[in-house]
């Protein structure tokens, strides 16, 4: 399929590049230049495999792992300025997600406004919870201080991509001695799915009924468990004890979009379509941590209808991000 839009595609700046080394130490000599490159190898891979547009975002955990608030604000702004300059060179091929210093909700709100209104970015991508010196040291975005931020996201009418990160070392004892469970093997989807469910249960979407959230990897495992989340021990007739007014599945189907990033499984894709509908699925690769050729070859041949392939490959993203 030609003209695909991919939207979990990363770059790095000097201040954040080493955050990605842990995910590819054995291929670091290849991965590092791929993260810095935007106009050369990336474009060649896009052209070769039918990707018309990439929406670019900063690598992880980057800003979210900078516990010093002032430094987080400075790095986010630097990354966004670098990205804006790269997009300006090829606005026909690239768009951008804002990196945000969520350690300071007011600063994050101001930076999102700047990125959308001045730099022309089409949304934000944030790498999970944020670390902060002091208490609380880990910030999840269902906390009350983020409500004004979310209202701004809704007012600007741009999607918010909740991207994975690993838990802080030692935070979850079950991973001790089993580092292979970290990253995309398990911890990424576990951490992101919990964060997404916290947002749902907090009542955020009752307050912000037009909020749009994107999560990757075909839903971080949530689609397979939607029924169980809402119907566990059903004969006990015990209601969920959360602030939200409706079942989890209602919010998930109304407010969430899923990408194929890094999960090139036709079985998982079909289940996501079954649970949410083809209108809620978006093609992505997760470059440079995943291979453009592998992702595109899989998607172009996946056993789905051609109408759904066009929606997922291009049309849904064009509509959601208002791309021409």
Residue 134: per-residue pLDDT = 83
Residue 214: per-residue pLDDT = 98
Give pairs for 138-142: CB < 8 Å, separation 24+: 138/168, 138/171, 139/102, 139/103, 140/195, 140/198, 141/102, 141/195, 141/199, 142/198, 142/199, 142/201, 142/202, 142/204
Average predicted confidence (pLDDT) for the chain: 97
> What digits encode the pLDDT tens for the residues 90-108?
999 999 999 999 999 999 9
Q: Which two tokens stand for residue 222?
A: 């949530």
Backbone angles phi, psi at 119, to 5 degrees: -95, -10
What is the pairing mode between strands 138-139 and 256-259? unpaired
- For residue 276, the domain's CATH number is 3.20.20.140
Contact 214, 160 (CB under 8 A): yes
> What digits encode the pLDDT tens for the residues 302-314?
999 999 999 999 9
Asked if pLDDT for residue 233 goes beyond 90, the answer is: no
What is the set of active-site residues? 286
Residue 239: per-residue pLDDT = 86
Determine if the pTM surpasses 0.85: yes
Cβ partners under 8 Å of residue 280, min gap 6: 253, 256, 257, 258, 272, 316
Asked if pLDDT for residue 264 goes beyond 90, the answer is: yes
Kind and range of the H or E element at 147?
Answer: helix 147-156
Positive or negative torsion for Cα 111, 114, 119, 120 = positive
Q: Which residues pair with 53 in a beta bridge?
A: 5
> What digits encode the pLDDT tens for the residues 129-180?
999 998 779 999 999 999 999 999 999 999 999 999 999 988 899 999 999 9
Query: Which is more confidently placed, 300 or 237?
Result: 300
Model confidence at 23, pLDDT cuts 50, 70, 90, reads confident
Average pLDDT over residues 237-249: 93
Question: CA-to-CA distance for 88 and 117, rounded, in angstroms?
Answer: 15
Q: Which residues form the domain of 132?
A: 4-320
Number of structural domains, the chain?
A: 1
């Amino acid at each position: 399929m030609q003209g695909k839009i991919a939207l979990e595609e990363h770059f790095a700046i000097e201040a954040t590049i080493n955050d990605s080394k842990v995910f590819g130490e054995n291929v670091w000599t290849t991965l590092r230049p791929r993260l810095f490159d935007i106009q050369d190898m990336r474009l060649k891979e896009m052209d070769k495999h039918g990707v018309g547009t990439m929406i670019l975002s900063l690598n992880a955990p980057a800003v979210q792992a900078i516990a010093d608030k002032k430094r987080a604000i400075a790095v986010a702004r630097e990354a966004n300025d670098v990205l804006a300059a790269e997009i300006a060179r090829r606005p026909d091929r690239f768009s951008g997600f804002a990196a945000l210093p969520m350690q300071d909700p007011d600063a994050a709100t101001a930076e999102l406004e700047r990125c959308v209104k001045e730099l022309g970015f089409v949304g934000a991508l944030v790498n999970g919870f944020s670390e902060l010196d002091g208490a609380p040291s880990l910030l999840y975005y269902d906390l009350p201080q983020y409500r004004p931020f979310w209202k701004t996201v809704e007012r600007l009418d741009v999607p918010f991509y909740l991207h994975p990160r690993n838990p802080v070392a030692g935070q979850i004892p079950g991973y001790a001695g089993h580092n292979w469970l970290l990253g995309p093997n398990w911890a990424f989807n576990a951490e992101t799915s919990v964060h997404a469910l916290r947002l749902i249960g907090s009542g955020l979407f009752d307050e912000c009924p037009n909020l749009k959230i994107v999560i990757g990897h075909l839903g971080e495992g949530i689609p397979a468990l939607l029924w169980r989340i809402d119907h566990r021990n059903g004969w006990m007739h015990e209601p969920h004890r959360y602030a939200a007014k409706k079942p989890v599945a209602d919010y998930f189907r109304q407010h969430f979009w899923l990408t194929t990033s890094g999960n090139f499984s036709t079985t998982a894709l079909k289940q996501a379509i079954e649970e949410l509908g083809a209108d809620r699925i978006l093609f992505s690769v997760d470059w440079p941590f995943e291979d453009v050729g592998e992702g595109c070859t899989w998607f172009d041949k996946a056993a789905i209808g051609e109408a759904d392939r066009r929606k997922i490959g291009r049309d849904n993203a064009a509509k959601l991000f208002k791309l021409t």
